Chain A
Amino acid sequence: MRGSRRSGKNGPLRSLFSRPVTGPSPEPPEPPDALNKARLHGSLQLRHIDVGSCNGCELEIASALGPKYDAPQFGVRLVASPRHADGLLVTGVVTHNMIGPLHQTLAALPQPSVIVACGDCAVNGGIFKDAYGVAGTLDEVVSPDVLIPGCPPHPAAIVQALRSLTGR
């Protein structure tokens, strides 16, 4: 469409040679415990599992991994198989249909692992807490190591929480 080529939209080759659009990153936060940081050595692979979310948190996670907030620059990556992962990134409230898969995914994780609860639904049930399809909150199944409150949480908050695990 004519006129849609504004100055902000560069092709990939242009982007290679221009400054990245990622905003400046604040100071890294304190790690939840020093042992975690020592184990992960600045590299964190997470397996995302949606146990019953509205996908709002997923959009914010995608944004956190995108160009503006760029979580991968701190060593964070999503992986396909829980065997390759250091932990789970859980979104949504635990529904009846997803309890089995959640247990299977937890069993497939190699130890030691971390559980990150992203969004109010994962943290405490959020607005869906007493709905008919809900089996419980995440901490009834497994106690999360990192909580990211918000409905949905801001991508910068997600990045900061993940940085507390990688230590970078």
Chain B
Amino acid sequence: MTLLLVGLGFCLLGVLTSALPRTYRVPVTASCAALGCALAFCAAMRVLVTGDTVSFHTTLILPLNGFAMTLDPLGALFIVATALVGFASCVYCIGYVRGELQSRSAMGLFVAFILSLLAVPAASSIATLMLFWELMAVSSMLLIVVEHRHRREARDAALWYGVMTQLGAASILLGLLLLTLRGGGQTFTEIKSHADALSPIVRSSAFMLVLLGFASKAGAVPLHVWLPKAHPEAPSPVSAMMSSSMVAMGVYGIIRVGDDLLHGGTVWWWIAVVALGTLSALYGALHATTSTDIKRLLAYSTIDILGLVLIGVGAAGALRDTGHPAVAQLALMAALLLVVAHAGFKGALFLGAGAVERATGTRDLDQLGGLIHRMPVTTTIFALSACSIMAVPTLSGFSSEWLLLQGLLHGFTDASTPTLIALLVGIVALALTGGLTAVAFVKALGIGFLGQARTLGAVNATEVAPTMQIAMALLGAVSIVLGLVPGLVVPLINRAAQSGLSRSTMSPLARGTGLVLAQLRGAIQPAFLFVGAAAVLVAVWLINRRLVHRSARRVDAWGCGRDVQTARMQYTATSFGEPLQRVFADVLRPQSDVELTHVAESRYYEQSLKYQNQVSDAVEQFGYRPVIDAVLRGGKAARRIQNGSIHRYLAFGFVALLVVLVVLA
């Protein structure tokens, strides 16, 4: 525990050193924060390896019941994922920050954000949790508006994010407070011991309220509308942390309250979680295929992957009370592995997108291209992480998706009918999102980095600073390690899942370098697959040397005999996703607009034609905006009450007093 507290202390020091003069500010602050992350990583790894739970309690810092932190293996896993991305983001910051990001408030808020992310999984009382939760929300909201002078959308994004995160926090607070109804204190141990005394209605209402708040933070459809706005507008290191760690906090909350504090609850809670996960996965994947802004694409992909994680968590909860609790733990382990893998590859992808934005000045895929020649390191790491998220075997995304599929597959034996339907829907969602994610990332990689450069910004791009490259490479290495030898982290994830499922003692995965199911039949050995593929590559290369030894001649591309071949003739990101946009038009609801101006003399001739096609978030367009418009209309109508006349206001006061007196009497 001391190690974690020292780590958090270093982060606090980082917040304070943000007051330093400009020349020292960024390196010193970022180094303090990086050191804090490293120490937190070590503390969390120690808890995961030994399986012990460490606590800390003080009556200082917070009034009333004081400040309580407990680090158990479940929280430790989330801290590991956060610390990895946090360390990389801090290193990245050193090369990245420029302009307003260098200000005292921006750097201070950045470190405060990291501090809160590291502390949330260790909080063990309601007050501590809400303290760090609010710190997380406020610091990230202010970080979104850091560059608002360059982009107007940043203000809009921060507003949406602020409102939704506060509503979510209120919902979480209400739900957690409901759990303290039967007396007892507000620490998690006390809540846990009194959980069985609560009536089922109270438990279900508490879980639903908490689910609403945490699912909104995790980006579950339909509570996700802030995510595609906020993640692109924040600076890239902040986006990386938001997308990798902050959304994971939502999942952590659901597991902590549902599985740990409430001892699993009833099956239909978890079927609701699976339903939310399915919706998110499908919706996120679809929107990722039609997004042309690289960071918006990554944000929707986060919604997609978190949907898969929620499917795993829901399946684990639903299968807990069946005859095969080992399968439930397997599903939870898969969800946790996917969280860590997601932190690795999504962090690298966002840092890469930031590097591209820094080098070319744009986030729009339709204006990029040819970056592989100009930014080879960034392209390689982006490609590696993209392949990982597309579930290419021997990388981390495949290992986690395989494990999730195994958890869902083996849950079909002895499950009740609602659980069966939920598992089936989960498998269908997994299958569909696999294909759609591949389209989205082939688009991002192929159009953004390959081919010819489409604009001057892409032509003039150069490779970014070495610290940024090192940070991206670190997270890329996570994808490789988790993919090739997932067996190494299996004991750690096993302990986290055991602690999540209230001290279970099962080990559904056997030891080894690959993933081997213990009692059931199924295994993968990615390391051997890699060796096999490498053998084939070597064989092809040798045959190439012996039989076909000639180098390639560079020629112009074959353009079907056209004289002119420009970069403008390539496919753009919009055209790449257009067939899928047509196929899924009912879900995506693209809005097309055609403006035709005729020549004055005759209606048969056109002077100008303007065509606009836009795919906006359908849930926002048809779900939220009508509600917001209705509220605004109601507000405008209510304004008529306040017409400025003192007499009317005095009359209101008099009537209100009368009513109160009548009621009291």
Contacts and interface: CB of A to CB of B under 8 A. Distances in A.
B555 to A, nearest CB: 7
A63 interface: no
Interface string A56-93: 00000000000000000000000001110000000000
B559 A104 contact: yes
Nearest to B563: A100
B601 interface: no
A82 B557 CA distance: 11
A107 interface: yes
A17 B559 CA distance: 43
Contacts of A100: 561, 563
Nearest to A82: B558
B563 A108 contact: no
Q: Is the interface of A mostly helix, strand, loop or mixed?
A: helix
A100 B564 CA distance: 11
A125 B360 CA distance: 54
A113 to B, nearest CB: 13
Interface in A94-140: 100-101, 104-105, 107-108
B442 to A, nearest CB: 22
A75 to B, nearest CB: 21
A82 B556 CA distance: 13
Which bucket holds chain B's interface residue count? under 10
A108 B555 CA distance: 8
A108 B562 CA distance: 12
Most buried by A among B556, B559, B561, B562: B561
Interface string B547-559: 0000000011011
Contacts of A104: 558-559, 561-563
Contacts of A107: 555-556
A95 to B, nearest CB: 13
A78 to B, nearest CB: 15
B555 A105 contact: no
Contacts of B562: 101, 104
Most buried by A among B558, B559, B562, B563: B558
A92 to B, nearest CB: 14
Interface residues of A, number: 9
Interface string B533-571: 000000000000000000000011011011100000000
Nearest to B557: A108
B83 to A, nearest CB: 51
Contacts of B559: 104
A33 to B, nearest CB: 22
A24 B640 CA distance: 98
B311 to A, nearest CB: 44
Interface in B358-395: none
A105 B562 CA distance: 10
Nearest to A98: B561
A101 B561 CA distance: 4
B59 to A, nearest CB: 77
Contacts of B555: 107-108
A110 to B, nearest CB: 9
Most buried by B among A83, A100, A104, A105: A104
Interface in B409-465: none
A41 to B, nearest CB: 14
A100 B562 CA distance: 8
Contacts of B558: 81-83, 104, 108
B556 to A, nearest CB: 7
A105 B561 contact: yes
Interface string A22-35: 00000000000000
A81 B561 CA distance: 10
Contacts of A83: 558
Contacts of A101: 561-562
Interface in B216-233: none
Contacts of B561: 100-101, 104-105
Nearest to B559: A104
A135 to B, nearest CB: 15
A108 B553 CA distance: 11
B75 to A, nearest CB: 58
Interface string B140-177: 00000000000000000000000000000000000000
A83 B558 CA distance: 8
B349 to A, nearest CB: 34
B561 to A, nearest CB: 3
B471 to A, nearest CB: 41
For the complex of A and B, 7 pairs with smallest distance between CB atoms: A101-B561, A108-B558, A104-B561, A100-B563, A83-B558, A81-B558, A105-B561
Given A81-B558, A104-B563, 15 more contacts: A82-B558, A83-B558, A100-B561, A100-B563, A101-B561, A101-B562, A104-B558, A104-B559, A104-B561, A104-B562, A105-B561, A107-B555, A107-B556, A108-B555, A108-B558
Interface of B: 555-556, 558-559, 561-563
13 contacts: A81-B558, A82-B558, A83-B558, A101-B561, A101-B562, A104-B559, A104-B561, A104-B562, A104-B563, A105-B561, A107-B555, A107-B556, A108-B558
